[in-house]
Structure 1
């Protein structure tokens, strides 16, 4: 299954009891100021031999002081490879890597740098504050912000060379004022409503917006760099609504040209359209989710089938392990009771860290080399696993999600468990969870 993509890749199938390679303790290499992650292989998934601990897990001895109880591990090489893949798919269109929402939870600055290294020529964010933070961090290149309000710092954005979206007259006027204040033209992308029902000028307002922008451009206050819109159902390949939106967009572009505007770039495609809708690629595509290796069409194709590599792994270390009898209630409300004598493991992550409470009784976790499901209710700071008779000890690593190549669940598995989308799973991982980076030079973990 390729969805118009010139290269096929095999999907990775995982299941209960699949072999797993667990990650070793985080130890900075000599002379390094950043966090690195190593790997140690697991020999099997079965119980530990008598007198020893299970292969690939911690033996219960104290960890080095400062070892995090949980972390999100980000593979920057995967981000670079994903962007390279998207550049390949996009053909003649340029690639704007979207790093809004702190890089979909992966780290905005780190993701932007990795994306540029992978071949992206633009960076995209939602808010102006995100754009200004990237500029303050020294991220170069073309940068677009589109979800703007009258109270934003338009002067700072124009002065920093941030390109801005305008979907109404007030936004053009704000850009004009900023241009006069800082002494340089504002660079604008005019947004047209083509059917999403969200931002952008509706058909009746589009001619007026074009007229306002054309007059401002003639006066030297703005430069209309682009025309853009956003698709409502690109994650449903073949849906007729996509064709209607493409047609409306072409009509809006033609109207802009009749108004005397000559935009450099036309852009409509998100991740799903970049991968599955060639006619919507135009001059520039704006992938977000796919940059981080997650499928925007999970019901049709997984990351591997699309040539993508998930970049984030979320891990934790057991805080407590104890034997309990049959019929023992677990967590708030006792929504789960043990069926027999068993081992409970306490995972020190909860909904305050981004673990969805809606995944209570359903969230999949890899622990002691086997798949387990959250037992009972996810709490603010912790949740419980029923480990059965599998050997386990405090400090053992558990994996909530990752690329899946070691048998662990993926972010999409958590999305299904919580009845949501993988975008939400990765972006909701909170600031209490430190990020560590592999696969390239970064400014440091946070």
Structure 2
């Protein structure tokens, strides 16, 4: 009997890398003062698996977990997580009652939202988000006094507990951007107004991954680390070497290889035509699986210890790569991106190739890829 067939395409996530990154970040932000660490696991753990990443982050000492939606928070609770957990993006009709009952801390941007949460009862734990310049979620400056006043009234009436006040940077990945100073000053102003209204939250927080690493003045009581916890650089070209390890490898198995001659075009529209005799290989993953269509003629993969460029347009189910005259057999491993230890492309390499950020590369990959979690701390080959 033969063993189970290897998947044609898979995402392999090393949970040991997650734990390592969380420890590195926790040590970094606690150099000068006791600062708590939130690991953000929204969007299915940035494509790495929310529940598994959350457990690894907790094991490594994460004080908090952060998610966008109530549904994500409730999924973590259903999986057994019982620690501090914040969510921040609600829509009309969302179930605040379920969140409060599960001990999830919810975020209010407006007085109306705050009152809706308070009406649920059950001692809701609420954080207030203020907009300090991103012009996205959060109370605009003109509404800060009213939001803080109502929050204070509700807290003193025993209907809610205000556990935090927070905001989000516009450009912390650009240390010289003037908005960084402006937002930090605005946030301090908001905290002064909140104190004047009688609020004394347990935590205040502004820093995301880039600010956690590059802007210690913005650490306050807690920092929120998302992409850095997955080992990816939040500020390429600016971040010092911290020893973070990318946790995700996306790989597939070659379906076929074949020779082509000078003048042969490849894939739809023949956007690439061979100017010399070579060979190409078929990789069974495409934009239907989250491989960016823009990767055609721009990104590379790793086959037989060498980078191989993608030739022609990415298709829905497959891509074609240049094998430089070689004809590796079907089943040969193809690494789309990984940690880069062997020289293989990284998620950052792919991001630069297609004009995006590594966040998008790792969160969009999926589709028919199978996802598997390994732990390189428990075995040499990373298998469990």
Please name the residue that 1:170 is paired with: 112
Equivalence map 1:362-373=2 (5 Å): 362-373=298-309
Do the aligned partners of 1:347 and 1:384 also contact (CA within 8 Å) in 2? yes
Q: Partners of 2:2 and 2:289 in 1: how far apart? A: 22
Give how far 1:67 is off. 1.3
Q: CA deviation at 1:80?
A: 0.2
Q: Of 105, 111, 115, which residue of structure 1 is paired with 2:57?
A: 115
How many angstroms apart in 2 are the aligned matches of 1:105 and 1:93?
Answer: 27
Q: State which drifts further: 246-255 or 390-399.
A: 390-399
1:87 and 2:26 are equivalent in the alignment: yes
**Conserved 8 A contact 2:47-2:363:** yes
Deviations 1:200-247 (CA, angstroms, capped at 9, x unpaired):
111111111111111111111100000000000000013221111111
The correspondence for 1:190, drawn from 98, 105, 128, is: 128
Report the Cα distance in structure 2 between the residues aligned to 1:323 and 1:245, rounded to whole angstroms. Answer: 57
1:159 aligned onto 2:101: yes
Work out whether 1:76 is the aligned partner of 2:15.
yes
Instruction: Find the partner of 2:204 among 260, 266, 289.
Output: 266
Q: How many residues align?
A: 375
Match of 1:177, SS state, is helix
Distance 1:117 1:246 in 2: 31
SS of the aligned residue for 1:79 comes to helix
Mapped to 1, the partners of 2:261 and 2:310 lie a distance apart of 18
Q: Which one of the candidate residues 205, 214, 222 is aligned to 2:143?
A: 205
Q: CA 1:187–1:249 in 2, change beyond 3 Å: closer, same or farther?
A: same
The answer on 1:66 being equivalent to 2:5 is: yes
3-state SS of 1:384 partner: strand
**Which aligned pairs between 1:241-390 and structure 2 lie closer than 5 A?**
241-301=179-239, 305-390=241-326
Could you list the runs of 5+ residues in structure 1 that have no partner in the other structure?
1-61
Contact 1:315 1:399 in 2 (8 A): yes
**With structure 1 as the length reference, what TM-score do the two structures score?**
0.82
Give the SS at the match of 2:280. Answer: strand
Alpha-carbon distance in 1 for matches of 2:173, 2:252: 32
Q: SS at the partner of 2:7?
A: coil
Secondary structure, counterpart of 2:372 in structure 1:
strand
Q: Secondary structure at the match of 2:23?
A: helix
Q: C-alpha distance in 1, partners of 2:99/2:367?
A: 26
Matched, 1:137 2:79: yes
Contact 1:295-1:306 within 8 A present in 2 as well: no
Shifted more, 342-351 versus 385-394: the winner is 385-394
- 2:272, 2:311 within 8 Å by CA — same for their partners in 1? yes
Higher relative contact order (CA 8 A, sep 6+): 1
